[in-house]
Structure 1
Amino acid sequence: MIKYLSVIMLVLAASCSFKGITVSENITYMEEGFLGELPEKQLNVFAPKNANSPLPVLVFIHGGSWRSGSKERYGFFGRRMARRDIVTVIIDYPLSPQYQIQAMALATAKSLDWVASNIEGYGGDPERIVVSGHSAGGHLAALVAIRDTYFDSLEMESPVTGAALIDAAGLDMYHFLVNQNYEPGTSHLKTFTNDPNVWKETSPIYYLHGDMPPMLIMIGGKTYPSILEGTARFMDAYKDFVPKPDYKVQRNKRHIPMMVQFLYTPGRAFRWVRDFVKEID
């Protein structure tokens, strides 16, 4: 069985290798001391070679409970999307406990500022930028897609034209933290502070509105209970604005496999994201 799976992986890798791409790594999008407090952070760009016209752009934000993870783990995602004619950007952002949630959201907005200003040089279309993320990254993607306040802080307009959420955490972090009643200093409170006002300000559910960019929302049916509950609450509110949402439930998927499945390009999740990005006007 192991030998059989190895052969399959080799075939899949070979099938994705025919289309040439360029990988530009560790590009600084935010200098040390930005806004007086933020650290230097980088991103990687995966772009098809010899594109004939500006291509749609996907900016991906990794998960890790807001306190771990890195862009290096997701090169497979960037390469596979780039080989399907999507310029893909994978970012790093400040992590807890050194930084808190508002700093993460500002850094995410700053990365999108860099993309909007520079992606043409990599064959991307700055008028078609989709932000995406898994888990905590899905939370940040939703937050900046729905709330313009982080872009207002940078004195720019939001360049986000769509959002693809992959098993996003924290869509109603206020409700979650109120019910958990954590002691001060526990992990999530190091990220979201002890202030309930911050919990609400960084919960996308409370800022839904009629002018939101389109969203693809994916969830695993066997993911963490907190994500199941938070997403259910989010979808109930979201349907007030989008009665027929682009909502995909993969009933047998757990949280980590919701991202691992993107190793397999013919899979339906890969096709959902690919098609969503390409259909953004």
Structure 2
Amino acid sequence: MTRRGLFAPALGFLAAACSPLSLLNSLGPRDPGARRVARDIAYGQDPRQRMDLYAPTAPGPYPVLVFFYGGGWDAGSRALYGWAAQALSARGFVVALPDYRLVPQVVFPAFIEDAAAATAMAAKVALRHGGDPDRLGVVGHSAGAHLAMMIALDRRYMQAVGRPDLIKAAAGLAGPYDFLPFDVAASRNAFGRAPDPTLTQPVTFVRPDAPPIWLGHGTADVVVHAEDTTILDARMKAVGGRSEAKLYPGLDHADLLATFSPLFRKKATVLTDVTAFFHHNLG
């Protein structure tokens, strides 16, 4: 399953494209009604295998979300994305915000294995803070969307952590889902050693019994083209899976997640659409 190299040639700049989003952590304002309730929760032995937890200030129980930030599989920190986790939490979710190991420390599939392990741990710890682990979803932006879709669609990762049925819904924002061949440095560095490259692609694992998925993309995104969202959505529907996709006119790669911030929320209804999807599917 090959086509144009996904980011061609913009993948090399994916981490840089995501970096302006990190500024929103210090610019503010933050959403009221939610706060960070735990930090540095370990889900493994590596220093990168840690997460923070956000929860509404009112008592639960609430559905649980695990949010994976982007950064080209080689950059990013949970310390820079608390504003996004808090925005989700303020809308009625207990939200886990994990770090994960990055290239060059690791290559595929280690960062996806981290995503699965973090999700399993989130289910355990969320219960202490008003979360209902039986209503858990995963969501990510950019490379984080790739992680979210891989653990939602490829059964092997959640099976490996003993929770094959934990994920009840998944959402991806501006995600790369079908990016063979590996023709730029970032994809070669992260995935180039994979014995079977097709097993790195979310579109390989579409299935009728997958959790429902929601996909959002900006039409002005030149980092990860909106074609990836439309392809995954079409492939899911072709096999009888539950999928919905929405394209946002004029939004670029960073814009899509920036609309989670109160500073840019009037640009598009992305946060409202994502949270409505999860409330509908998680109850």
In 2, Cα distance between the equivalents of 1:41 and 1:239?
Answer: 34
Contact 1:176 1:226 in 2 (8 A): no
Q: Is the 8 A contact 2:44 2:50 kept in 1?
A: yes
1:21–1:219 CA distance, 2 compared to 1 (3 A): same
Change over 3 Å in CA distance of 1:81–1:240 after alignment to 2? same
Match for 1:188: what amino acid? Answer: S
SS of the counterpart of 2:259?
helix
After superposing the two structures, state which structure 1 stretch, 235-244 or 137-146, moved more.
235-244
Moved over 6 A (4+): none
Considering only aligned residues, what root-mean-square deviation do their CA atoms show, in Å?
Answer: 2.1
Write out aligned runs for 1:150-169 (5 A): 150-169=157-176
Counterpart position of 1:248: 246
Task: Give the residue type in structure 2 aligned to 1:21.
Answer: R
Q: Tell me the number of residue pairs that the alignment of Structure 1 and Structure 2 aligns.
A: 252
Are 1:45 and 2:49 matched, yes or no? no
Aligned residues of 2:136 and 2:168 also touching (Cα < 8 A):
yes
CA distance in 1, matches of 2:113, 2:34: 33
- Measured in 1, the distance between the counterparts of 2:223 and 2:121 equals 35
CA distance in 2, matches of 1:89, 1:271: 19
Question: Could you say which structure has the greater relative contact order, defined with CA pairs below 8 angstroms and 6 or more residues apart?
Answer: 2
Q: Report matched runs for 1:18-57 at 5 Å.
A: 19=33, 21-32=35-46, 40-51=48-59, 53-57=60-64
Q: Distance in 1 between matches of 2:147 and 2:190?
A: 13
Tell me by how many angstroms 1:229 deviates. Answer: 3.3
TM-score (norm. length: structure 1): 0.83
**Do the aligned partners of 2:50 and 2:99 also contact (CA within 8 Å) in 1?**
yes
Following the alignment from structure 1 to structure 2, what is the Cα–Cα distance between the partners of residues 276 and 233? 20
Match of 1:83 among 86, 90, 99: 90
Q: 1:260 aligns with which of 236, 258, 261?
A: 258
* Structure 2 stretches lacking a partner, 5+ long: 1-27
Give distance in 1, aligned partners of 2:255 and 2:108: 25
Structure 1 gap segments, 5+ residues each? 1-11, 33-38
Q: Contact 1:57–1:277 at 8 Å: present in 2 too?
A: no
- Measure, in 2, the Cα distance between the counterparts of 1:278 and 1:195: 36
User: How far, CA to CA, are the matches of 1:244 and 1:111 in structure 2?
Assistant: 25
Question: Shift in Å at residue 239 of structure 1?
Answer: 1.9
Residue number in structure 1 paired with 2:133: 126
Structure number, greater radius of gyration: 1
Which segment drifts farther, 77-86 or 112-121? Answer: 77-86
Partners in 2 of 1:258 and 1:276 — Cα distance?
Answer: 16
Give the distance between the partners of 1:242 and 1:167, measured in 2 at CA. Answer: 23
Distance across 2 between alignment mates of 1:243 and 1:193: 29
SS in 1 for 2:163: coil
